[in-house]
Amino acid sequence: MNILVTGGAGFIGSNHVRYLLDHTQDRVVNLDLLTYAGNLENLAGCEDDPRYRFVRGDIRDRELLRSLLQRESIDAVVHFAAESHVDRSVEGPEVFVTTNVLGTEILLEEARAAQVGRFVMVSTDEVYGSLGSEGFFTEESPLAPNSPYAASKAAADLLCRAFFKTFGFPVIVTRCSNNYGPYQFPEKLIPLMIANALEGKPLPVYGDGLQVRDWLYVEDHCRAIDLALRKGRPGAVYNVGGGNEQRNLDLVRMLLDRLGKGPELITFVQDRPGHDRRYAIDASHIRAELGWAPTVDFAAGLARTIDWYLANRAWWEKIRSGEYTAYYEKMYGAGGRHGGDAG
């Protein structure tokens, strides 16, 4: 197969490109705009593979998509490209709509016109909104997104549904919980806390820190996406999750512990507006239909992740010395949204 991966220079996308090159015989064309979150260093080594090709471009560029899909004889699309950070969507929602909603719509149209045979939409559990202390998200849970990011992903997710229902276009949607692992951009909880701890900086915990996330090691997510691509039913939605709920504060303490740092670095800061309290996934559908189950347990995955950030300090130091620094100052510096103590 010739597979078009969009957003393959980001965190999950780059892990997925590696997964495809390592586990399949397929050709991979990676289309990525290289926004602040896209980084070709995430793909070091892949360029030497004759089955891999990188194209810098925008999923909103219809002409580019048209010629690329045709020129590369694309059989399948795995769609990761998105603005992905909730806090940024609070600061500026517009690009979330143009990239995540309009970009997905244009990609769907062009993929359909090119008669692409499979299209996997990498959606998120955040489309379901927030859970109380009980229960799990199933594929039948109502969509109730709470952040501009989640709302834009829900719109994209539903456009996929509509392209299947209206045009019979073979879209498969995955809705996964929080991922962690190598190459995650250091604005997200786990890499941010690791990097700050290593630099002796405060660890900004939002609100009371008792929000719960269901963490999945990134490679387990990639395997689920690939199974959905090859064996999933067109029109189906598959929840993907680790069955691994952690409270943010417990997770931060765990990280500090493993890094040999003390809890005094923990700083409670103002909560994220609209902050979802708890996510938890019921993954029984993908388990029953596609035989997927997570393989990396949390302690082992976290140890592997910490080791990667320790061994690849130059990777995240470079990022943190660039554009991201301005964002960090804006969010966490004096006068920033998370700049003061909670309360």
Q: Which residues bind ligand TYD (CB under 6 A)?
A: 86, 178, 188-189, 192, 204-206, 211, 213, 248, 272
C-beta nearest to ligand NAD: residue: 10
Which residues have a catalytic role annotated?
125-126, 149
- Closer of 181 and 232 to ligand TYD (Cβ): 181
Least Cβ distance, residue 164 to ligand TYD (angstroms): 26
- Cα angle: 272, vertex 338, 259; to 5 degrees: 95
Residue 213 in tokens? 């996330």
Give the C-alpha separation, 134 to 172, whole Å.
28
Q: Does 178 bind ligand NAD (CB under 6 A)?
A: yes
Residue 282, exposed/middle/buried by CB under 10 A (0-12, 13-18, 19+)? middle
Asked if 122 and 79 touch (Cβ cutoff 8 Å), the reply is yes
Residue 95, exposed/middle/buried by CB under 10 A (0-12, 13-18, 19+)? middle
Asked if 66 and 42 touch (Cβ cutoff 8 Å), the reply is no
The option from ligand TYD, ligand NAD, none interacting with 192 (CB < 5 to 8 A, set by class) reads ligand TYD
Nearest to 336 by CA among 140, 159, 202: 202
Q: Applying CB under 6 A, which part among 10-18, 19-27, 162-170, 331-339 lies near ligand NAD?
A: 10-18
Q: What is the DSSP letter of 246?
A: E
Q: Does 10 bind ligand NAD (CB under 6 A)?
A: yes
Least Cβ distance, residue 54 to ligand TYD (angstroms): 26
Give the C-alpha separation, 331 to 132, whole Å.
28
The option from ligand NAD, ligand TYD, none interacting with 28 (CB < 5 to 8 A, set by class) reads none
The option from ligand TYD, ligand NAD, none interacting with 179 (CB < 5 to 8 A, set by class) reads ligand NAD
Phi/psi of residue 178, nearest 5 degrees: -60, 130
Least Cβ distance, residue 44 to ligand NAD (angstroms): 15
Q: Does 80 bind ligand NAD (CB under 6 A)?
A: yes
The option from ligand TYD, ligand NAD, none interacting with 160 (CB < 5 to 8 A, set by class) reads none
- Closer of 171 and 192 to ligand TYD (Cβ): 192
Least Cβ distance, residue 292 to ligand NAD (angstroms): 15
Give the C-alpha separation, 163 to 51, whole Å.
30
- Tell which one of 17, 28, 43, 58 touches ligand NAD (CB under 6 A): 58
Give the C-alpha separation, 284 to 238, whole Å.
9
Least Cβ distance, residue 36 to ligand TYD (angstroms): 15
Q: Does 33 bind ligand NAD (CB under 6 A)?
A: yes
Q: Does 97 bind ligand NAD (CB under 6 A)?
A: no
Q: Does 59 bind ligand NAD (CB under 6 A)?
A: yes
Nearest to 173 by CA among 247, 118, 110, 117: 118
Residue 236, exposed/middle/buried by CB under 10 A (0-12, 13-18, 19+)? middle
Distance of CA 171 to the CA centre of its chain: 19
- Closer of 5 and 189 to ligand TYD (Cβ): 189
Residue 224 in tokens? 């689920």
Least Cβ distance, residue 75 to ligand TYD (angstroms): 31
The option from ligand TYD, ligand NAD, none interacting with 204 (CB < 5 to 8 A, set by class) reads ligand TYD
First vs last C-alpha separation in the chain:
54
Residue list 144-173, contact with ligand NAD (CB under 6 A) = 153
Q: Does 3 bind ligand NAD (CB under 6 A)?
A: no
